Structure 1
Amino acid sequence: MRLSVTNLAVRRSGRRIFAGLSFALGPGEALMVTGRNGAGKSTLLAVLAGRLKPDAGEVRVAEVGEASLPECLHVVGHRDGLKSALTAEENLAFARDLLGAPALAPAEALAEMGLAHALRLPVAYLSAGQRRRVALARLLVCRRPLWLLDEPTAALDTASQAVLAHLMARHRAGGGLVVAATHQGLGLADARELRIERPVPPAAGGPGDAAWDAAETVA
């Protein structure tokens, strides 16, 4: 799979988030999207996932047959997207049946994340870190070449972060792509970095939003 983004621009609530953003990823490559809070990291992932339409630019995917981009990706966002009343196994089985292209069984995926003991526990009983690991286990129950990860290490302890780093390395070794919005290193060897910069908002009585927009840059 190959992903290319050309001259992407996005506005939300009338304010420009970023503009002129371009990059390309080929099989096995990873991109870390960095920048301060509010810079537009999550917005970029939402555009790539097809949940947000850009104002300008193009997102293209190649070499995946007849599949569309949403059919080629996994998203792990800030929210875990789990049903609290369902068990960890039931949540993963639902994801597998919904997304298709099954890979590991839910029990195997949970074991990979160190949660074999939580197989039949309702997600409501799990800690924040355990819930995060169940959400990440969705990456393993279905085969999808592009992983979009928004702060994937949130609530994870050091051991779980190492497990995630191993899973991403294995995914890339098989030709998969990773785009991760992050404030810290993720153990992604040879990953490229896309830093989105936004200036501090103008003070009261300072230059207006038009001037602020003109000052925004993407590095």
Structure 2
Amino acid sequence: MHEPAGSPGARRAAARPVLDAVGLCCERGERRLFMGVSFRLQAGDMLQIRGPNGSGKSSLLRLLCGLAQPAAGHVDLFGRALVQQRGALASRLLWIGHAAGVKALLTVEENLAWLGALHTPGACAAIGPAVAAVGLRGFEDTPCHALSAGQQRRIALARLYLPGTPPLWLLDEPFTALDRAGAAQLEVHLAAHCARGGTVVLTTHHDLTRRAQAYTDLDLGQYVA
């Protein structure tokens, strides 16, 4: 049964994909982690990547953000090959890796100033609300080496609350070191980003209780070579 041309489902099917992964194969050294991974994501989609340790979840995210190249297959971002968009990636996707990625000698505010500038130059005025959103109000001038692992993780995640963030978020284990309240808040924020037309790809061992309406679960273990 075909949907009417003007229906939401038909418009969604006709929209240009945000992210298109085609036949991806990943090798690490002489070991092949996975092969034949394909999926297509539209605005509003959330993709959760699962799999056992060593199946290549983080490696897949690195392929999707251009930090590594696939042994086979390709990635398209907004209808163009990812490899052709090196200069524009910072305005199109936001990558937060498994590590917090903060500078230990810089303060919370200084870290967010340079992290935010990767995507939105001049976003310093919004740092205060972003810090408050992740529960770190009052720590703005604290050097990051004096913070706990969970607090450092919150600094990295505060980037998601800055204005002008790219539409595509690629997040590697974003719930690591967060307490229950922090994890619940992040779930709500990710779902809200998708509801506004953003797209989220994440790896996590955390059981999501709040998901985007358009949610897909990808078991990478099925693609192990």
Normalising by structure 2, what TM-score?
A: 0.82
Quote the sequence identity (%): 43
Aligned residues of 1:50 and 1:70 also touching (Cα < 8 A):
no
Q: Using the alignment, how far apart are the partners of 1:6 and 1:102 within structure 2?
A: 36
Name the aligned partner's letter for residue 193 of structure 2: H
In structure 2, what is the equivalent of residue 92 of structure 1? 112
Asked if 1:129 corresponds to 2:153, the answer is no
* Alignment correspondent of 1:52: 68
SS at match of 1:152: coil
How many residues align? The count is 201
Counterpart of 2:185 in structure 1 is 163
Going from structure 1 to structure 2, the CA distance change for 1:69 and 1:57 (only over 3 Å counts) comes to farther
Give unpaired runs (5+ residues) of structure 1: 199-216
CA RMSD across the alignment: 2.3
Runs of 4+ in structure 1 deviating by more than 3 angstroms, as ranges, are 63-71, 101-104
Aligned to 2:171: 149
User: Matched residues in 2 for 1:49 and 1:144: separation?
Assistant: 12
Amino acid at match of 1:193: D
Alpha-carbon shift at residue 97 of structure 1 (Å): 2.0
The answer to whether the 8 A contact 2:195-2:212 is kept is no
- CA deviation vs aligned residue, 1:177-207 (integer Å, no higher than 9, x gap): 1000111223324421110117xxxxxxxxx
Instruction: State which drifts further: 56-65 or 41-50.
Output: 56-65
Where do residues 11-160 of structure 1 align in structure 2 (5 Å cutoff)?
11-62=27-78, 68-100=88-120, 105-141=126-162, 142-160=164-182
Deviation digits for residues 47-72 of structure 1 (CA, Å, limit 9, x no counterpart): 01101100111111126999744531
Q: Please, what TM-score do these two structures have when normalized by structure 1?
A: 0.84
Summarize the alignment of residues 187-206 of structure 1 with structure 2, pairs less than 5 Å apart: 187-190=210-213, 191-197=215-221
1:100 deviates by: 2.3
CA distance in 2, matches of 1:33, 1:70: 22
CA contact (8 A) 1:49 1:70 kept: no
**1:80-129 Cα distance to aligned partner (Å, 9 max, x none):** 11011111111001112233266671111011111112111111111111
Give the residue type in structure 2 aligned to 1:108: P
The one-letter code of the counterpart of 2:181 is A
Give the unaligned 5+ runs of structure 2: 1-16
